Amino acid sequence: MNSAGWNWAGLAAIWGVFTLWVPFVVLISSWTTFGAVQEMIPTLKEVVKRHMWLDKLLTGVFATIALKVFLAFLPSAMYAIIRTVMSVKSGTEVQIKMQSFGCKELASTRLPKLVTSLSRGVTLTLAANSVSIAQKPGRIFRVLADFLPSASHFYFNYMVLGWIVPFMELVRNANFWKFHLCKLFLSMSEKEAKEYSEPEDPASYGLGARMASSLLISAITFAFCSCSPLILVFSFISLSLSHASYTYLVVYAESKKPDTGGVLWVHGISYLFLVILMYILLMTGVLQMLSSSGKWLGPPVVALASTFALYAGKHRVDSLAFDVLPLEEVVRTSQDLSKKAVREQGQYVQLGHASAVVTMQTKLNLLLG
């Protein structure tokens, strides 16, 4: 099989993983509650009865913790498929594909939870209105607008729990345990154990995976910034902590990351345009719901018309020739190389013999004169 065939096979495998992942994600986030787990595990229920503070602590965040733990394995699965199945030429290309597929996973498995609000009520409501939505597809925006604000509570928990991640990455726990296990069980010296414990896992700590994670936070922020403005505070803290943590790790602690030349940034901006499009559609439904009896369509139409400005911005970003030098730089570089070549032409004279050559030339001139 040629490289194109392997790439198609890898693409099919990744979409197969996404397809299997979606039901589990929706099931965990929609139906997993601490009370349900207590019913399944009687021992846990007895412990909670003796320590009531556990019930208050975990009831609000248990589904979020379960979702984070479950989704933590997805980057490793994607990385294994890209490395073993797809035809990639370098680690940089792997990270670019990790970001690309990570953002597609964001749109296919995580963003749908934004509009289904991760609760039994919305799931049942969408099921009850499935016939009317099939007849009038535009009605889905109004149904989603009814429940979008209630979904923000789940993502408040998601954001706050995410504050722990930058601090955990600062510890570099995987490298820490590998270092000490090598010293303890393999009797390695500190230098050997350090070399064996490096580098960090590129599936979870690579530039592509981290860029996709930051885009997820940005997507949640855009989706809820109007319905629940408090999400702006949580996302600002989360992104600030990530910025401080990754600046230290990438520059001082971790192994040198490949220079992608701006590809990850351009791809990230392109996916943010998709997120903003989803935000515009959701806000169109919200404005339609808030209009008097749904008859005054002025605000929804204006909101929907902003997609033209979004398209213009997307076209401008796509037209950026970020991977090509400007013509002025090409001409200037060519001129500098030409001048350097001219300066290097001529007779080679060793520095130590320069004075001797000058003295001999003077004597010859005197004799001939």
Of 320 and 246, the structure prediction assigns the larger pLDDT to: 246
Work out the average pLDDT over 56-84: 72
What digits encode the pLDDT tens for the residues 172-228? 888 888 888 888 888 888 888 888 888 888 888 888 888 888 888 888 888 788 878
Task: At 78, list the tokens.
Answer: 């994607």
Of 116 and 147, the structure prediction assigns the larger pLDDT to: 147
Work out the average pLDDT over 345-364: 54
- Rounded to whole angstroms, the Cα distance separating 69 from 342 reads 63
Work out the average pLDDT over 140-162: 68
With a pLDDT cut of 90, the percent of the chain lying above it is 2
Report whether 159 contacts 234 (CB < 8 A): yes
- Rounded to whole angstroms, the Cα distance separating 202 from 80 reads 11
How remote is the C-alpha of 45 from its chain's centroid?
38
Domain range annotation of the chain: 93-344
Angle, nearest 10°, between helix axes 91-105 and 3-31? 40
Q: Is the pLDDT assigned to residue 123 strictly greater than 50? A: no
Work out the average pLDDT over 307-312: 88
Residue 118 pLDDT level (bands cut at 50, 70, 90): very low
Work out the average pLDDT over 222-250: 88
Work out the average pLDDT over 135-159: 65
